[in-house]
Amino acid sequence: MSLHDKPKYKFQSVSFKTVEEFLEYLPEDELKIVKVLRKLVLDSLPGVTEKLSYNVPFYKVHRGICFIWPSSVKWGKGHSWTGVRFGFQQGNLLSDEINYLDKGERKQVFWKNFSSVKDIDADLLKSYIFEAAIIDQEKKDKNNGAS
pLDDT tens sequence across 30-70 = 999 999 999 999 999 999 999 999 899 999 999 999 999 99
List of long-range contacts for 92-99, beta carbons under 8 Å, 24+ apart: 93/135, 94/128, 94/131, 94/132, 94/135, 95/131, 96/128
Positions in the chain short of pLDDT 70: 1-12, 76-79, 141, 143-147
Q: Which residues pair with 56 in a beta bridge?
A: 53
User: What domains lie within the chain, and their CATH numbers?
Assistant: 19-90+98-143 (3.90.1150.200)
Predicted structure pTM score: 0.86
